[in-house]
A = this chain, B = another copy of it.
Amino acid sequence: MNANKNKYQFGDLLARHHLKKTEPRLRVLSMLASKNFATSQPDLEDVMLDIDRGTLYRILNAFEEKGIIHKVFDLNGTANYALCKSSCEENHHHDEHLHFNCVVCNNVYCLDDLDLPALNLPAGFQPMNLSLSATGICPKCGKKSDITEN
């Protein structure tokens, strides 16, 4: 079963980061794992009404500090969270990263495995991390409007 497999994986993941395997944490992890785009704190809260808001903040902050998830800001400046890919789980995050912000559904897609073209910055700027973010229409919303037009 996938759910069980994930539970093991998540338990492991938490253990590796010296975090106790608690129910709220596992639920946050599986929620984030189930989506291919980043989820905002309000959205998480809506789905997990029974988890205390303060606890949710603490969980998200802890996960972020440990590098389990990363935070991106959407068009409204709201923090959205996504699981880090395995390659950035241990301390250093990916160097290059594309975030696609859909103007319709407002979801943030993390398109990690895209090779970004080289970039030449003005003199003196020392980049540590590049992230390209695009706004536009995501496949899901693009499809919807096609249908509407029929």
Interface residue ranges, A against B (CB under 8 Å): 71, 73, 77, 79, 98, 100, 103, 109, 111, 114, 116-139, 142-143
Contacts and interface: CB of A to CB of B under 8 A. Distances in A.
Chain copies in complex: 2
A12 to B, nearest CB: 30
Contacts of A119: 98, 114, 116-117, 132, 134
A103 B129 CA distance: 10
A65 to B, nearest CB: 14
27 contacts: A73-B77, A77-B77, A77-B79, A100-B121, A100-B125, A111-B121, A114-B121, A114-B122, A117-B117, A117-B118, A119-B132, A123-B139, A124-B139, A124-B142, A124-B143, A125-B136, A125-B139, A126-B136, A126-B142, A128-B134, A128-B135, A128-B136, A129-B136, A130-B132, A131-B135, A132-B132, A133-B133
Nearest to A129: B135
